[in-house]
Copies of this chain bind each other. A is one copy, B any other.
Amino acid sequence: MTNQIMVKMALDAWNSQIKNGDDLLEKLSDEQLMTEVAPGRNRGIYLVGHLVAVHDRMLPLLGLGEQLYPQLNEPFLKNPDNAKAAMPSVKELRQFWKNINSTLADHFSKMQSDAWFQKHTSVSAEDFAKEPHRNKLNTILSRTSHLSNHLGQLVFLKK
């Protein structure tokens, strides 16, 4: 019972930030997303691609399958924003954003509460035995903070 409550708490917090992202992206035009969120800082397109790539990597991290968009790792994870880098269009990234988040939501809806307290794939069995908090649900907490951090920046694109 308590496990169920905890899973709901963490997923509610995650879903609330995803909803904030959905709402914000609806308000921003493709043109706005091509501009820097602040002078000399990342462009909107980079932050959206970065968030999609980080969420996409949650699939292998949680043992839910392969990445859907491995082509995003190079421009949005391994490199800083670069207007000359090959990138999908904002329209494509909007679609990827919707798709990766709904794919994750589908998987999450099928996971039993206890499964969330199992180890994720980047921690060894030995370390997990000593540090049982390094479980799948913990990755939701850290990814929620990550998302919230970048949404605080993307919001600056709003007029």
Note all chain B residues with C-beta closer than 8 A to A156.
38, 41, 153
State which of A81-89, A101-109, A135-143 sits at the interface with chain B. A135-143
Q: Bound complex: CA of A141 vs CA of B37, how far in Å?
A: 26
Contact residues in B for A133 (Cβ distance below 8 Å): 5, 8-9, 12
Q: Which of A26-34, A57-65, A90-98, A144-152 contacts the other chain?
A: A144-152
- Residues 32-47 of chain A: 1 if any B CB is under 8 Å from the residue's CB, otherwise 0? 0000011101000000
Chain B residues, CB < 8 A from A129: none
Report whether over half of chain A's contact residues are helix, strand or loop; otherwise say mixed: helix
**Residues of chain A in range 37-79 having any CB-CB distance to chain B below 8 Å:** 37-39, 41
Q: Give Cα A16 to B149, complex, Å.
A: 13
| In the complex, residue of chain B having the shortest beta-carbon distance to the beta carbon of A156 | B38
Q: Does A3 contact B (CB under 8 A)?
A: yes
> Contact at B38–A141, with CB atoms within 8 Å?
no
Chain A 110-159 interface residues, beta-carbon cutoff 8 Å to B? 117, 132-133, 135, 137-138, 141-142, 144-146, 148-153, 156
Chain B residue numbers with a CB within 8 Å of A13 are 138, 141-142, 145
Interface bits A1-20 vs B (CB < 8 Å: 1, else 0): 01101101110110011000
